[in-house]
Amino acid sequence: MTEPGIKDKTAIVGIGETRYYKRGAAPTPEFQLALEAILLAVEDAGLTVEQIDGFASYSNDRNDPTRLAAALGLPQIGFSNMFWGGGGGGGSGAVGNAAAAVAAGYAKYVVAYRSLAQGQFGRFGQGSQAKASTYPMSYTQPYGLLSPAQTFAMRVRRFMYDHNIGHDALAAISLASYHHAQFNPRAIMYGRPLSREDYDNARWIVEPFRLFDCCQENDGAAAVIVTTPERARDLRQKPAIIMAAAQGSFYRQGAPAHNAPDYGTSNFKGVAPLLYELAGIAPKDVQVAQVYENFTGGVLMSLVEHGFCSPDEANEFCTVENLTWPQGKLPINTSGGNLAECYMHGLELITEAVRQIRGTSTCQVQDCKISLVASGPMVSPVSSLILRA
């Protein structure tokens, strides 16, 4: 009788990313970006395209798996999966679903992908231009509460109030991403360092978020390929073994009109403990973390809920020194992340987590054995992932 679960049964063996663009700057349509990223991941892995037999994505990706399979001339697919929910909540979830499919035998080489050209289909940072709103948006949009920043600033405000957290913590999270982007030529903000003075002088978007607390809006695509460690032996790259993936949502986090009983939360209070239990490790074992930054305040709460510090320690833990490579206790978002590399909807955080295991990051943590990803704070559902060497 084998143990239930997927621990150590699958691995990420290929990663692919298009060039990353500012929104509106991609020279090719979103669907072509998806194809390019998938082909790059196939090449990186050392597979042939015909071996791909499954797809998993999230956030209602527009690029349908069966169209991808038809376009790529795939013999057949055994898995086509969409993680419910919006924002970046499904980044790790899509990888987790791909891993589950591989472990279950539904498919052998599953691509988890995200292609997003905000310049071609509308910006996440803009409010609805519809004439009318209905349940549940009718309880927020008529009051000018329209964008993700506005939706989540309210949660972060309450968390900071409850735990007496100051602006330095948010600033440190932003500065960490921008610091790491300066080493990464792929990053949109490469060559554009951010000082604390720049951060403080930036305009308010919605209090408590200033401009550099907010993610970018970009065009691009990224993909990773999941298979078994046994199959990985015949492939080109050192596999990043998937120790655990967890997904979900805590008690009534989906309640309408900001009525989640536990409000000042990133929504990892159920997911993170399960993640560690499935992986069989503790937060102290994590050497590097990619923590989805829609907004810095979400990272703050994600760090707390993944056990890296208590709420009351957050002011002391969230410093530039602690969060930056190479000396930090826990370097986060070592490629520059959503804030400073590219808002590839958090799939670029997964490729970076893989690079840390391979030893190929531009901010490589020494002897990195365990690498964590947290996807989508404050949305519902959310997901997390732990990779090992």
Partner 1 sequence: MTTKTMRDSYLPPGLPAPRPSPDGLDAPFWAAAKRHELLVQRCNACNGSQWGPEFICFRCRSFDLRWERVAGRGRIFSWERIWHPVHPALKDACPYLVVLVELPDADNVRMVGNLLGDAMQQVEIGGAVEAVFEDHPDEDFTLVQWRVVE
Report the distance separating Cα 286 and Cα 328, nearest Å.
13
Residue 343 catalytic? yes
Report the distance separating Cα 313 and Cα 15, nearest Å.
36
- Smallest distance, partner 1 to C-beta of residue 146, A: 5
Size of the site for partner 1 (CB under 8 A): 44
Site string for partner 1, 333-352 (x = CB under 8 A): --------------------
Side chain identity at residue 96, one-letter code: G
DSSP 166: -
- Smallest distance, partner 1 to C-beta of residue 208, A: 8
- Smallest distance, partner 1 to C-beta of residue 298, A: 15
Site string for partner 1, 261-300 (x = CB under 8 A): --x-------------------------------------
CB nearer partner 1, residue 203 or residue 233: 203
CB nearer partner 1, residue 190 or residue 263: 263
Three-state SS at 201:
helix
- Smallest distance, partner 1 to C-beta of residue 205, A: 4
Report the distance separating Cα 6 and Cα 139, nearest Å.
41
Count other Cβ atoms within 10 Å, centred on residue 278.
Answer: 17
Report the distance separating Cα 346 and Cα 42, nearest Å.
20
Q: Which of 268, 274, 227, 265 is nearest to 249 (CA)?
A: 268
Residues numbered 160 to 189 that lie near partner 1 (CB under 8 A) are 161
Q: Which of 293, 305, 317 is nearest to 267 (CA)?
A: 305
**Structure-block tokens of residue 164:** 């007496």
The answer to whether 204 contacts partner 1 (rule: CB under 8 A) is yes
Q: Which of 3, 197, 207, 367 binds partner 1 (CB under 8 A)?
A: 207
Q: Which of 24, 256, 280, 326 binds partner 1 (CB under 8 A)?
A: 256
Residue in the block written with tokens 């993680």: 83
CB nearer partner 1, residue 28 or residue 140: 140
CB nearer partner 1, residue 137 or residue 389: 137
Rg for the chain, CA atoms, rounded: 19
How far apart, in Å, do the first and last CA atoms of the chain sit?
A: 26
Side chain identity at residue 18, one-letter code: T
Taking CB under 8 A as the binding criterion, the range among 114-122, 134-142, 190-198, 216-224 that sits at the site for partner 1 is 134-142
The answer to whether 60 contacts partner 1 (rule: CB under 8 A) is no
Side chain identity at residue 3, one-letter code: E
Site residues for partner 1 per CB under 8 A:
125-147, 149-150, 153-155, 157-158, 161, 203-208, 252, 255-259, 263
Residues with catalytic function: 292, 343
